[in-house]
Structure 1
């Protein structure tokens, strides 16, 4: 488990104090893929560099697997960092070294014998899907291949924690998805705890179990990804959810201008309810007509989440019975947007 208590970082710039991370507290469980999301300047990059003390904290405590990182001497910290791998937005590869030599670099620093290094490099090349590219130089690789080298290098010393600093921001969408799939595979195979910072909600949606939202150095919201998607509490969180789901209020206001008859409702589907054949069921059960106006369902790592805006026409009594049935007999949430 990773415990972060009251973590702060204050920079002194032009005789002013700039607070990059402000009294941050989090608990991250073993084996989690934990996302930290925020816009530029939110403090997320500083936060992740505090975890392995690439930045020294001003205040607070970081404990990883029972070891207090913030209290370690520099000598002990060098050893502890072998358990904390890190990958970067711009890869940070050694351009004069081949793929194999880049991956072997942390093993050389750790004093691992050559034969053992070769074996470990071969294992990692297979793991990240770079078989046949061992002797290529970074300039000969695509962006996705460079990041795979970065991931393999970060895994060289068998770390227990992998820190990802905007690891997909420099990649195109298709390559991003392939790197995210690789991180999920590594998490499941190795039981590795992954902490991933990003400004893209798509990344959080695709692979994270839990998420913390940062703004102005503070964590303003946190929880399971599915819960945050369903009920974002803070304006900044709602903006991130809109990256994936669109602006629900803007969408439904436009629809209400066009569809003024009957009852217009928004149905919220979560988890297993997203697979229910609800529309066909209520159309059979009640004397109503259902017109689907708009809908979107997206997958998170913990299940599906989606909304469907529908217009229900019929006698008022039948419409009321329909709404009552959905509320009482299904796990779908109903939000009435306009009354008949």
Structure 2
């Protein structure tokens, strides 16, 4: 369990105070993949650096595994940091060291014997998929391979918490997906808690269970990823959801659907979880005397489950159509909106 209480960070420059993190309070469950999203300047990178005191907080406290990190002296903090791995956007590798030597570096600092270091390094190289690259230098690696080295190095001391500060922002989409898949695999195999900082909502969608949205140093919205995607409350959250939902494009599609389909009702259905796989449309046609045409649809996966959007055109006797709509509205985890109510 990670407990963050009233955490603040104020930077002072030229006698001017700037609040980067403002009285932030969060709880993160052990073994969770927790996302923190915000635009540039929201305070998210400062926040994650406060967790291991790479930045010293102005106020508040951080408790990780029953240890008050913000109260530790320098000696105890160095020891505590061995339990908190961290990976960065720009890798921060030692360019004069090989892959093997980069991963071994934190073990050297911790005083681990050479034999134990080699055994640990080789197991980590296998874990992150870098077998055969042990003697390569960073300049000989792709961006994704460099980040895999960074991940392996962060795991060297067997931490219980992994902090990821924009870990995929410098990577292309295909490599990003591969790194995110690796993080999910590590989370499942090792059971460690991952806190992932990003400005990209598709990263949150792909691997996070919980998400906190930051703006102006504050958490303005948080919750289960699926809930936040389906029912964003704050304007900044709605902007992020549009990144992966294509809401603007969907609005244009609705207008085009209405223009191209003059008869019957046009209905938008939101399916959540297992209902995305149910044969709802077939059931409606068999039960009610209505005509149903599927106009457009898509399904998106999150760690918390699937959700889908389906546009249908429904026509027929008005009473039958009303009964069919009532039936749909009674279904668990299906939301219905009549987009165009023409007869």
TM bin (shorter chain): over 0.9
1:15 CA drift (Å): 2.5
Name 1:316's counterpart in structure 2: 318
Name 1:204's counterpart in structure 2: 204
Q: CA–CA distance in 1 between the matches of 2:136 and 2:303?
A: 34
Runs of 4+ in 1 over 2 A off after TM superposition: 248-261, 291-294
Match of 1:276 among 275, 278, 289: 278
Q: CA–CA distance in 1 between the matches of 2:218 and 2:12?
A: 18
- CA-based RMSD of the aligned residues comes to 1.3
3-state SS of the aligned residue for 2:112?
Answer: coil
TM-score by length of 2: 0.96
Name 2:193's counterpart in structure 1: 193
Stretch of structure 1 that moved more, 285-294 or 247-256: 247-256
* Equivalence map 1:203-242=2 (5 Å): 203-242=203-242
Is residue 292–residue 310 contact of structure 1 (8 Å, CA) maintained in 2? yes
Name 1:50's counterpart in structure 2: 50
1:254 CA drift (Å): 4.4
Is residue 273–residue 333 contact of structure 2 (8 Å, CA) maintained in 1? no
Q: CA–CA distance in 1 between the matches of 2:9 and 2:256?
A: 45
- Please, which runs of 5 or more residues in structure 2 have no aligned partner? none
* Equivalence map 1:1-340=2 (5 Å): 1-247=1-247, 248-340=250-342
The size of the alignment, in residue pairs, is 340
Q: CA–CA distance in 1 between the matches of 2:341 and 2:199?
A: 38
Stretch of structure 1 that moved more, 291-300 or 220-229: 291-300
3-state SS of the aligned residue for 2:310?
Answer: strand
Q: CA–CA distance in 2 between the matches of 1:249 and 1:233?
A: 19
3-state SS of the aligned residue for 2:330?
Answer: helix
- Please, which runs of 5 or more residues in structure 1 have no aligned partner? none
- Describe the superposition over 1:34-93 as per-residue Cα deviations: whole angstroms up to 9, x where unpaired: 000111111110010000000011111110011111111111101100000000000000
1:148 CA drift (Å): 0.5
3-state SS of the aligned residue for 1:21?
Answer: strand
Q: CA–CA distance in 2 between the matches of 1:170 and 1:234?
A: 28
Is residue 4–residue 63 contact of structure 2 (8 Å, CA) maintained in 1? yes
1:249 CA drift (Å): 4.1
3-state SS of the aligned residue for 1:5?
Answer: strand
TM-score by length of 1: 0.97
3-state SS of the aligned residue for 1:103?
Answer: helix
